[in-house]
Chains A and B, each alone.
Chain A
């Protein structure tokens, strides 16, 4: 029974490691940054346009 728990624990750790390896959290933040940059720069020029009409 104890051995089986150990096996389970090892398996959980391995899964955690694997999840960490396949994590795309950084990519998520990166694409959010890119999207925000596009929006901010677009609206900056749009407000410039509004101020000139």
Chain B
């Protein structure tokens, strides 16, 4: 007999709403505090950047364009995301797998403090204009050696925290050998394994190549190798952002709409595919670079297209969850049922808008990864518009939607109607601002406007002047979108303050989907981590061994540092 997708009247509803242990909650919450402080600084960095780039303001002499560009990228794309993800993981693992042992919680605190120290040092160096190397910190641009050491600390700290979370998961698995693990733990594990395997690349280039070079111990650096190791890390980094956002879609949103997830097996399969195929694909960021043969670029492009599949599975899975739940609640028509979804609830609305934005974002990603099309958009503002849709909207709106309930859960407060209303306004402002900013960036990019450049008219070249004169495709539109986004960012920071410190004390639910109906039939092999890690390693070795060997044996001439180029 088919089981209903609607949760009402099911035994799950009689289960107690298990709260997060306050000690684990505190550990989760400190991550969120750091995330939002970084967020608001990063937002203002973005505002100044947009206005300066559009020629609407001139930055003071003591503040460089590339300095705020670096601050914006590092604080939003690296710090905000990493900290809020770990806050979510610690809270969610405590709820779904039980309270952490004091030893594991201490390990989590050690990881947090190491990440925090690294973040503080890196931020100070950026603000001192000692590390204006952009958030990709490509060599041969050279920052202060301490900046790289600080980034290494952030990575190491995140690994220590990951060990705490993974140990907690495997302890649960050992204690419950006959049960499929809760989806939250499964997905956290897949994400963290991905993060640890991917982090090896950036750790290798920072520790072996960049730090000795920045310290003056070596005079030259192999740029091609460093960029390759960076992108070995850089693309899975994108999935490190998106997978926790998918966790909110898979596990939280179904509960918020009053239903249950469509399928456990499909969700697990999607996460396994992300683990397997998101790492051996970095060359699609280097399609225009010399030094990598077209064969290896081709191989990694194919693998890139494979990693599109789990995102398509996710799109199907989530929409099927919406449709089944809405129909069981009385929704009718081919798409008329959509009216029954809780549009007034920001816990649903913000992630939903993130999902919608992911349609053009994902399509743009497929364009970027296609060789010939990449030559149209490479190093243009199109790419900036693209990642402002992916991480800057899909991921961020989902994390905002999560923050509205997670913060009060962790602080023992109530998710108020006021916060909900502010959240709806915030989401609209973010979407409108991003439509203008990112839309204009995409079109400017197609017209050839470059990225990573300060305000320039290129000697008043007619083509460059057009980039300031268009109605929609204009740097001015980018700046206007940026102003609206800043307003949305400030409102989000207010929401954070409200929910963390001002909302009345009380209980807020941690929404978590009941087990999908196919949970008992979930194939055991989907949890065979040794198998998946083994296949992932084989794919990585296949995709990278020969090209990296060639980069070392037939190395291009090493580059001296350039440390005053864009300061």
**Interface residues of A, Cβ cutoff 8 Å to B:** 18, 20-27, 29-31, 34, 37-38, 41-42, 45-46, 48-49, 52
Contacts and interface: CB of A to CB of B under 8 A. Distances in A.
Interface string B1-25: 0101100000000000000000000
B334 A25 contact: yes
A51 B335 CA distance: 39
B493 interface: no
Nearest to A20: B327
Q: Chain B: interface secondary structure?
A: helix
Interface stretch (B36-44, B45-53, B360-368, B483-491): B360-368
A26 B319 CA distance: 8
A5 to B, nearest CB: 24
30 contacts: A18-B2, A20-B327, A21-B328, A22-B327, A24-B323, A24-B324, A25-B323, A26-B319, A26-B323, A26-B334, A26-B335, A26-B337, A27-B319, A27-B322, A29-B334, A34-B312, A34-B315, A37-B359, A37-B360, A37-B363, A38-B362, A41-B363, A41-B367, A42-B370, A42-B373, A45-B376, A46-B370, A46-B372, A48-B446, A49-B375
A21 B324 CA distance: 6
Q: How large is the interface on B (under 10, 10 to 19, 20 to 34, 35 or more residues)?
A: 20 to 34
Contact of B316 (A18, A27, A37): A27
Contacts of B322: 27
A31 B323 CA distance: 13
Interface string B166-199: 0000000000000000000000000000000000
A48 B376 contact: yes
A20 B376 CA distance: 46
B256 to A, nearest CB: 19
Contact of A42 (B4, B316, B323, B363): B363
Given A23-B323, A27-B316, A31-B315, A45 B360 contact: no
Contacts of A49: 372-373, 375-376
A1 to B, nearest CB: 28
B10 to A, nearest CB: 15
Contact of B366 (A24, A26, A29, A38): A38
B377 to A, nearest CB: 7
Given A26-B335, A29-B334, A37-B359, 7 more contacts: A25-B334, A26-B337, A31-B319, A34-B359, A38-B366, A42-B366, A48-B376
